[in-house]
Structure 1
Amino acid sequence: MKANLKKTLENARTYTLAVAEAMPEEGFGFKPADGVWTFNELLHHIGYGMYWWEENYIRGQAADWAPTPVTYGKQAVTKYLEQAFAHLDKSVAAAKEKELPLEGFFATIDHITHHRGQATVYLRCKGITPPEYMY
């Protein structure tokens, strides 16, 4: 089971980072409408959300929703995402097979998928074809 979860997480990491890479640096400030996040803010939210979901629903440690200051720039926000994925991977690896909180894991993956889908729409709004979906 753990191997399947790690594969799911690695696929999410690879595809999320490919979506981030597809947007040129100058597009990170783009937002398709008023009242929504920029592409950069959206990616940062994915990263912060991973830490928050992991803490609350995988590690079982109650944590308030208190987003960290947004990291700006393609390189910085991509690094933040990479760190969030690595942190989550460590928690999955450390969990005992029979104690893996599957509901929390899949809720975290669902949150990533939800916002990554939004990011692919941002790419399309900029005339960029998103990377081919990986599974």
Structure 2
Amino acid sequence: MNMFKNPRTKYINSLVLIVPMLIYYSAGLYHQDLNFDVIQENFKKSKSNTLSILEAMPEDKYAYAPVDSVRSFSAQAYHIAYTLEFMRNQFSGKDNKWNPGDENSMSKAELIEWTKNGFDEMENFLNETKYNDRLLTNLISVLDHNAHHKGQMIIYLRLNNIAPPEYQF
């Protein structure tokens, strides 16, 4: 009988793989591999990529939206900046209600400055905050959210025949 087809062998092999992983993760040893500094470096790259995208769209195209039912490029930028501020306040435990206001109310220069400041303030907060699993989870959520909207903005650039900035790894 082939030892890999034997259900008992499959069970034992599974245990041999799963038990060490459970011990590894429950003991918190994975923090040594999932270095918080790596996540912070990704945050810095996200800032750079986001600002490059905001710079790439000419100001006269900031009101562009491919269809009426989606945010304009300007509103996407506003949403990213507002969310950075909102999430930083959430992370720090401030009473915070979602109230973004008019997402089409700022100029290109104002949006770039607000976004830059939002990333800088979040980075300062991260540097001053003790690492914990919740902070890591929240930061990954911010990076995911930002990537989602940057992707939309890259499509807006392409729809306007503007080559998006090269992605920075």
TM over 0.5: yes
Which residue of structure 1 lines up, in the alignment, with residue 113 of structure 2?
79
Which residue of structure 1 lines up, in the alignment, with residue 152 of structure 2?
118
Q: 2:89 aligns with which of 34, 49, 55?
A: 55
Say whether residues 1:5 and 2:39 are aligned partners.
Answer: yes
User: Aligned to 1:7, what secondary structure does the other structure show?
Assistant: helix
Q: 1:41 aligns with which of 75, 79, 98?
A: 75
Which residue of structure 2 lines up, in the alignment, with residue 16 of structure 1?
50
CA shift in 2, pair 1:98/1:36, >3 Å: closer
Question: For the aligned residues, what is the CA RMSD?
Answer: 1.6
What percentage of aligned pairs have identical amino acids?
26
Task: Tell whether the 8 Å contact from 2:154 to 2:164 is kept in structure 1 after alignment.
Answer: yes
Where does structure 1 lack aligned partners over 5 or more consecutive residues?
none
Which residue of structure 1 lines up, in the alignment, with residue 143 of structure 2?
109
Task: Tell whether the 8 Å contact from 1:32 to 1:122 is kept in structure 2 after alignment.
Answer: yes
The alpha carbon displacement at 1:5 in A equals: 2.4
User: Aligned to 2:166, what secondary structure does the other structure show?
Assistant: coil
Say whether residues 1:64 and 2:97 are aligned partners.
Answer: yes
The alpha carbon displacement at 1:29 in A equals: 1.1
Tell me how far apart the structure 2 counterparts of residues 129 and 62 of structure 1 sit (CA, whole Å). Answer: 41
Task: Tell whether the 8 Å contact from 1:54 to 1:108 is kept in structure 2 after alignment.
Answer: no
The alpha carbon displacement at 1:33 in A equals: 0.5
CA deviations on 1:22-61 (whole Å, 9 max, x unpaired) are 10111111111112111111101001011122222x3243
Q: Which has the larger radius of gyration?
A: 2
Letter in 2 for 1:88: M
TM-score by length of 2: 0.73
Letter in 2 for 1:105: L
Say whether residues 1:88 and 2:122 are aligned partners.
Answer: yes
**Alignment length (residue pairs):** 134
Task: Tell whether the 8 Å contact from 1:54 to 1:105 is kept in structure 2 after alignment.
Answer: no
TM-score by length of 1: 0.90
Q: Which aligned runs of 4 or more in structure 1 are off by greater than 3 angstroms?
A: 68-71, 97-100
Task: Tell whether the 8 Å contact from 1:20 to 1:78 is kept in structure 2 after alignment.
Answer: yes
Task: Tell whether the 8 Å contact from 1:2 to 1:92 is kept in structure 2 after alignment.
Answer: no
Structure of greater relative contact order (alpha carbons < 8 Å, 6+ residues apart): 1
Where does structure 2 lack aligned partners over 5 or more consecutive residues?
1-34
